[in-house]
């Protein structure tokens, strides 16, 4: 699992066999993340203030290497998803507000993995 706290780091996401991180996909993700704001600078300021993160998951096997606190945060994020956007290459981007402070966790992952994670954690799909 990769965690990103700076929008510029989107270009450093690894290309995987399950989700090719192309420039097209990077642009789609950046467009969604910056949409509520005027520009990337304002987006980054909000992210810094609210401690937002983008998590990139590509397989269920990654869960075994994740620390317990992150697993609990992941469960919360999957259970209380605010929105979900379908992207190219079978990818999906979700947003969940996971703390009262307004902290948001965006999760970028293959759509098929989202279904697997809901089953893995026994989370009902709404």
pTM over 0.75: yes
Neighbours of 112 (CB within 10 A): 12
Percentage of the chain exceeding pLDDT 70: 98
Domain span at 33: 2-120
- In which band, very low, low, confident or very high, does the pLDDT at 125 lie, cut at 50, 70 and 90? low
pLDDT value for 67: 81
- In which band, very low, low, confident or very high, does the pLDDT at 91 lie, cut at 50, 70 and 90? very high
Asked if the structure places residue 125 within a domain, the reply is no
Half-sphere exposure of 43 (CA within 13 A, CB side): 18
Exposure string over 84-94, b if 16+ CB within 10 A, otherwise e: ebebeeebbbb
Which string of DSSP letters, residue by residue, matches 59-113?
-GGGGGGS-HHHHHHHHHHHHSEEEEEE-GGGEEEEEEE-STT--EEEEEEEHHH
The overall average pLDDT reported for the chain is 90
- In which band, very low, low, confident or very high, does the pLDDT at 126 lie, cut at 50, 70 and 90? low
Ramachandran area for residue 90 (φ above 0: left; ψ -120 to 50: alpha; else beta): left
pLDDT value for 18: 77
Asked if the structure places residue 126 within a domain, the reply is no
For residue range 18-39, list pLDDT tens digits in order: 777 888 999 999 999 999 898 9
State the total domains in the chain: 1
How much is the average pLDDT of 82-94? 94
């Amino acid at each position: 699992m990769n965690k990103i706290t700076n929008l510029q780091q989107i270009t450093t996401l690894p290309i995987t066999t399950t989700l090719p991180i192309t420039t097209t996909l990077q642009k789609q993700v950046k467009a969604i993340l910056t949409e509520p704001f005027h520009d990337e600078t304002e987006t980054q300021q909000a992210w810094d203030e609210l401690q937002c993160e983008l998590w990139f998951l590509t397989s269920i096997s990654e869960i075994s290497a994740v620390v317990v606190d992150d697993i609990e945060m992941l469960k919360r994020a999957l259970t209380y998803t605010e929105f979900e956007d379908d992207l190219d290459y079978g990818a999906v981007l979700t947003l969940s507000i996971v703390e009262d402070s307004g902290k948001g966790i965006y999760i970028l992952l293959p759509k098929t993995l989202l279904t697997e994670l809901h089953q893995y954690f026994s989370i009902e799909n709404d």
